[in-house]
Amino acid sequence: MKFDLERSIEVLAVTPATLRALLGDLSVDWTASKGDRDNWEPYDIIGHYIYAEEADWIPRAKVILAQADARTFPPFDRYGQFERSHHESLAERLDEFARVRAENIETLRSWELVDEELELKGVHPEFGEVSLRELIATWVVHDLTHIRQIATVMAKRYDQAVGPWKAYLSILN
């Protein structure tokens, strides 16, 4: 599929509701953080989504669009969610994610980007030059990656409980 901004926004817009539908009514047995920076639980992943909304996608897009002399993105802390308070409930995190995502989509739409702007470049600290188009496409795939991660983490809770059917459950293998 060729990149399309409106198709990208479709996915970005439904992610908060998708996550709320998947996680919103579950017990903490399914979702609670264990505080393990290497093995994220659903609570941690929602925190990561929030942190990325605040520190990654739109801030980096603004760097690209400004086309100033300093086009290098500040480094992104992939573990930034662990620096946040863990006192809020998952429901509160889901609400916050929905709010900041809606604001970011509104910002993205307000720019009324054209193809020439989507080809503007910023400098990623690790990858070098990247286009705005690539940044937005990555934002979409980032959403889908973490939805898959949540499903995988949850499925593994029943790794042994499924018995011999495990052979047919690719999410467990």
How crowded is the C-beta side of 76, counted as CA atoms within 13 Å? 21
User: Model-level pTM?
Assistant: 0.94
What is the pLDDT averaged over residues 71-91? 85
Chain-centroid distance of CA 111 in Å reads 21
Do residues 144 and 8 lie in contact, with contact meaning Cβ atoms separated by under 8 Å? no
* pLDDT grade for 85, boundaries at 50, 70 and 90: low
Structural domains in the chain, CATH included, are 5-172 (1.20.120.450)
Residues 1-36: tens digit of each pLDDT: 999 999 999 999 999 999 999 999 999 999 999 989
Residues 95-121: tens digit of each pLDDT: 999 999 999 999 999 999 999 999 999
Closest by alpha carbon to 42, among 54, 55, 26, 58?
26
- pLDDT of the residue at 68: 83
